[in-house]
Structure 1
Amino acid sequence: MRCTIGVDIGTSSSKGVLVDAGGAILAQATRAHDVSRPRTGWVEMDGGNWWDEFVALSRELLAAVPDAEVTAVGVSGMGPCVLLTDQDGEPVRPAILYGVDTRAGEQIARMTADLGVEAITRVGGSALTSQAAGPKILWIQEEDPAAWGRARRIFMPASWLAHRLTGAYVLDHQSASQVSPLYDIDREQWHDDWWQRYAAPLEQPALLWAGDVAGTVTDEAAVLTGIPEGTPVIAGTIDAWSEAVSVGAHGPGDLMLMYGTTMFMVFTRSVATGEETLRTPSMWTTAGAFAGTRNLAGGLSTSGALTAWLKDLTGSDYPELLAEAEGSGAGARGLVLLPYFAGERTPIQDPDARGVIAGLTLAHGRGDLYRAALEATALGVRHNVQTMRDAGADIRRIVAVGGGTQGRLWLQIVSDVTGLEQEVPRVTVGASYGAAFLAAGAVSDPAPAIADWNPVVMTIAPDPALAPVYDTLFDRYLRLYAGTAEVVHELAAQQRADDEKETPA
């Protein structure tokens, strides 16, 4: 049976799927893991674990379907991450994760002062924020000189897996465009002058598109994974873009909402047909997963991470909390929550933002808090969508994907808060499925169509009767952040100072 494997390295778990030529999932496997948070604002992971989990997942998938004939391998992963290795591909330190890691504030400020916001935005598409990988490379150079002295190559989860499988040293254009400001988005190539200034002596990885073949499985990798030697492996890309592929949300005017540990949004334009590349300081402009596409992207630093925190804090389970949250009703009985428990990415770009819960009384229970958390993520989505539209995004279609789509309440709250209809496809496992689809496209003639693999099966429409409630709540949400920012920033500074006292030099 001809199949493709797709594996995604996520923030809280790695997931793998084995998919037949028609898009049916034959087997799934998951490995849970944790990130390391050694200091406030630092989020790291051991890159070696990514390969170990890939090996375990591939063997489990192949054992589940003994007659599987693997024709290609797809990879994806969270990002943009910074995993530096030596010349032999051995990591020199833990990987620094994407925008939830906010350590490089000083490097962002210095690079911005050195190069100028206008030049950075013109070349890279976006102003420098905690999402940009370039300042994190500079942070390692300045703050971890021992590791920097050994570093020769840069990887992200997808490119690391492709390297371990094939020996190739590549990075896809979409991921490269988030190594800002070291990638020229209009020319679709590395910006050599700035690379030499900030990233030398790192070797520049060759650039491919997400579905391009990076190489074939080596004999050594075949022995470890069970995947036959010579099997093609694609370059892959960052998980949110692979998720967009998995549900067909990568056409002009499409917006993907990814419900995961964090919430991610990707809006697509086609520069191949003459549409303008959108740039705005509070969002991220990137290359797309496919040639000729550009994206305006945004992300909340917490969504599923926030609901998991509340579940663990209250000692409850999700069905209990969802039932109680539904009973709480729109507005959570007078609560408004800011979901900035790990700082915030777009559109406020404030790594020192913190969570706030306003309106609490002794009459409130855990269901009200859970409802307020779901509504907070929806309010964050509304803030991002409004910012995208203000920048010129003509959003025509919204597709939901990710683990959070399994519960209808969260989907309904997002539609009610934003006033937007969402399409939900049959398969919502996410990035690993998108990676498997891209792999199939790389070795099939003709390439499969995602509409055939993964048709839309449900549409979530907003309740117009709730629009006044959520218009008022959104106004309070914006004013609560503005009104508490000064105190919250003081608390964030205190948290950093306390960390430094507790962390050995």
Structure 2
Amino acid sequence: MYLGIDLGTSGVKALLIDDAQNPVASATSSLEVSRPHDGWSEQDPASWIAATENVLDALKLSHPKELAAVRGIGLSGQMHGATLLDQSGAVLRPCILWNDTRAHAEAAALDANPLFRKLTGNIVFPGFTAPKMAWVNSFEPEIACKVRKVLLPKDFLRSWLIGSFTSEMSDAAGTSWLDVGRRAWSRELLAATDMDESYMPDLVEGTQVSGQLRAQIAARWGMSANVVVAGGAGDNAASACGMGVVREGQAFVSLGTSGVLFAANAAYLPNPQSAVHTFCHALPNAWHQMGVILSATDSLNWLASITGKSAHELTAELDDALMAPGSVTFLPYLAGERTPHNDSAIRGVFDGLSHQTDRKALTQAVLEGVAFAFRDSLEALRQAGTELSRVVAVGGGSRSVYWLKAIATALQIPVDLPADGDFGAAFGAARVGLIAAENADPLAVCTSPKVAQTIDPDTQLGPAFEHAYRRYRALYPAIKGVSS
């Protein structure tokens, strides 16, 4: 048996799989996010351990024999969070999360140093880890002077599991301290935030063993003392392992709270000016690129909250037959945007409203706006040298056939829907745990699920979608000029 633990923003999920990669049991435990000020987003790292204890308790109660048979554990986690520890390993303050934007000025200052884009292959985004540490240096000096170790969320959880500090390449690539091409910490980049390599955890590949489960942890949940814990992956790379998106040219589109267009690469292909994320993959000698949309299903949920209808009720009003884009255009920048604009201050817009605009038209515009945001990411990936011929759809929004038709037609490539199953980050983490425990071939383990349905672009509506996309593209510079 193998165990995947996914530390998300809203909860922890644990998934047991057998040696044939069949899901056996799962458990979840929720987490809360604290927002003490506008733009802030924090969590207490102790809550991650408590939630993990909850899911392990649940699995021990429901499947004690299967839990006892675990040979390898893989970890997946929300990226970019700054978990600050003192000399004794005690947490100094709540973790500053990936969607915290307080460090926008610090991010801009670091990004102005050409070494960051040169070595990391990425813009220094406000949500990345390094600018958060720079913010702490400036505004919480009494804490900064006590910091001796900076860990990403899943790596803090790992330290509880194995008793030492280790990270892996895919998550470390999102800190702005990793030389992504060399897959090693950069002394120069660390020095820019008044640190050196002693502040960083050791590095392993995601499929390598990072340590063994501590004896007291193993005993508490009835597991063997020789259970290995794999390096694991950041959440998107873990999802890619779960979906089998590990070879050159494979890609997925994720319709979750945020949106991701993820492409696997066999080489390091940075293009920071397009706001594409270029990170190490969880597998050795592999990288990946991502276009990131900050508000995907969040946009539809926002519309649901102000109309008093559920997201499902809104999309059901559209039926399944794709329509030509209407006169209303929506920019889904409710929390700013990453790809391709790197603009934390921009906000969303409805353009083209009239007396005839009804709820159905607004829903259609929201779905199209998110589809066009994915098209922006596709164009950014093309600028970075990556061409995609098809994508696999994952995430809660992929349950809307209309939305997938809009995305396929906006991107002008087919969208595959996988057969029913759990192929998310927890499954990917469990696969990585299997690889580490058995020294298995990563490509043989991380295979793609069967395709249940393929949604092709609507060729008749293609020109109308292309025209609407050009209108969408013209709106950002127009509202940028009047936004405060």
Output the TM-score relative to the length of structure 2: 0.92
Listed one character per residue, the Cα deviations across residues 393-413 of structure 1 (whole Å, up to 9, x for unaligned) are 132442222333333332222
Q: Alignment partner for residue 391 of structure 2, among 382, 387, 398?
A: 398
Amino acid at match of 1:433: F
Say if 2:284 is the partner of 1:291.
yes
Change (3 A) 1:156 1:361: same
Q: Tell me how far 1:213 sits from its aligned partner.
A: 1.4
Please give the secondary structure, in 2, of the residue aligned with 1:464: coil
- Indicate the RMSD between aligned Cα atoms, in angstroms: 2.3
C-alpha separation between the residues in 2 aligned to 1:452 and 1:384? 25
Change (3 A) 1:452 1:381: closer
Q: Alignment partner for residue 421 of structure 1, among 414, 422, 437?
A: 414
Change (3 A) 1:208 1:452: closer
Q: Tell me how far 1:162 sits from its aligned partner.
A: 1.3
Listed one character per residue, the Cα deviations across residues 219-269 of structure 1 (whole Å, up to 9, x for unaligned) are 332355554433211121210010011111121122222221111122222
C-alpha separation between the residues in 1 aligned to 2:323 and 2:133? 44
Q: Alignment partner for residue 140 of structure 1, among 130, 136, 158?
A: 136
Change (3 A) 1:226 1:147: farther
Change (3 A) 1:168 1:325: farther
Change (3 A) 1:21 1:447: farther
Change (3 A) 1:354 1:442: same
Q: Could you tell me which residue of structure 1 aligns to residue 238 of structure 2? A: 242
Amino acid at match of 2:78: M
Say if 2:206 is the partner of 1:214.
no
- Contact 1:236/1:435, CA 8 A, preserved across alignment: yes
Q: Tell me how far 1:324 sits from its aligned partner.
A: 1.3
Listed one character per residue, the Cα deviations across residues 276-302 of structure 1 (whole Å, up to 9, x for unaligned) are 533231222222222211222221111
Deviates more, 1:241-250 or 1:362-371: 362-371
Amino acid at match of 1:178: G
Q: Tell me how far 1:338 sits from its aligned partner.
A: 0.7
Change (3 A) 1:384 1:286: same
Change (3 A) 1:365 1:345: same
Please give the secondary structure, in 1, of the residue aligned with 2:261: strand
Q: Tell me how far 1:368 sits from its aligned partner.
A: 2.9
Amino acid at match of 2:187: D
Deviates more, 1:342-351 or 1:425-434: 425-434
Amino acid at match of 2:270: L
Q: Could you tell me which residue of structure 1 aligns to residue 48 of structure 2? A: 50
C-alpha separation between the residues in 1 aligned to 2:328 and 2:345? 22
Q: Tell me how far 1:389 sits from its aligned partner.
A: 0.6
Please give the secondary structure, in 2, of the residue aligned with 1:440: helix
Q: Could you tell me which residue of structure 2 aligns to residue 175 of structure 1? A: 171
Percent same amino acid among aligned pairs? Answer: 28
C-alpha separation between the residues in 2 aligned to 1:342 and 1:34? 19
Q: Alignment partner for residue 198 of structure 1, among 188, 193, 199?
A: 193
Amino acid at match of 2:316: A
Say if 2:380 is the partner of 1:378.
no
Q: Could you tell me which residue of structure 1 aligns to residue 154 of structure 2? A: 158
Deviates more, 1:23-32 or 1:136-145: 23-32
Change (3 A) 1:386 1:140: same
Q: Could you tell me which residue of structure 2 aligns to residue 103 of structure 1? A: 102
Deviates more, 1:292-301 or 1:104-113: 104-113
Change (3 A) 1:460 1:58: farther
C-alpha separation between the residues in 2 aligned to 1:109 and 1:27? 45
C-alpha separation between the residues in 2 aligned to 1:337 and 1:412? 17
Say if 2:435 is the partner of 1:437.
no
Structure 1 segment 264-283 matched on structure 2, within 5 A: 264-271=260-267, 277-282=269-274, 283=276
Q: Could you tell me which residue of structure 2 aligns to residue 497 of structure 1? A: none
Q: Alignment partner for residue 126 of structure 1, among 122, 127, 130?
A: 122
C-alpha separation between the residues in 1 aligned to 2:246 and 2:448? 15
Deviates more, 1:194-203 or 1:46-55: 194-203
C-alpha separation between the residues in 1 aligned to 2:138 and 2:447? 50
Report the number of matched residues.
478
C-alpha separation between the residues in 2 aligned to 1:341 and 1:15? 28
Structure 1 segment 13-32 matched on structure 2, within 5 A: 13-32=11-30
Change (3 A) 1:30 1:361: farther
Change (3 A) 1:5 1:404: farther
C-alpha separation between the residues in 2 aligned to 1:473 and 1:53? 45
C-alpha separation between the residues in 2 aligned to 1:358 and 1:108? 31
Listed one character per residue, the Cα deviations across residues 154-197 of structure 1 (whole Å, up to 9, x for unaligned) are 112221221111112011112222221x2222322111133234
Amino acid at match of 2:261: M
Listed one character per residue, the Cα deviations across residues 468-499 of structure 1 (whole Å, up to 9, x for unaligned) are 221121111111111111222x1xxxxxxxxx
- Contact 2:324/2:461, CA 8 A, preserved across alignment: no
- Contact 1:403/1:428, CA 8 A, preserved across alignment: no
Please give the secondary structure, in 2, of the residue aligned with 1:465: coil
Q: Could you tell me which residue of structure 2 aligns to residue 40 of structure 1? A: 38
Listed one character per residue, the Cα deviations across residues 402-443 of structure 1 (whole Å, up to 9, x for unaligned) are 333333332222112211112233335411110011111112
Please give the secondary structure, in 2, of the residue aligned with 1:368: helix
C-alpha separation between the residues in 2 aligned to 1:314 and 1:60? 38
C-alpha separation between the residues in 2 aligned to 1:254 and 1:328? 28
C-alpha separation between the residues in 1 aligned to 2:463 and 2:141? 55
Structure 1 regions of 5+ residues with no counterpart?
Answer: 491-505
Change (3 A) 1:469 1:196: same
- Contact 2:212/2:229, CA 8 A, preserved across alignment: yes
- Contact 2:151/2:200, CA 8 A, preserved across alignment: no
Q: Could you tell me which residue of structure 2 aligns to residue 498 of structure 1? A: none
Structure 2 regions of 5+ residues with no counterpart?
Answer: none
C-alpha separation between the residues in 2 aligned to 1:412 and 1:51? 41
Amino acid at match of 1:43: S
Q: Could you tell me which residue of structure 2 aligns to residue 232 of structure 1? A: 228
C-alpha separation between the residues in 2 aligned to 1:446 and 1:155? 28
Q: Could you tell me which residue of structure 2 aligns to residue 486 of structure 1? A: 481
Amino acid at match of 1:442: A
- Contact 1:402/1:429, CA 8 A, preserved across alignment: no
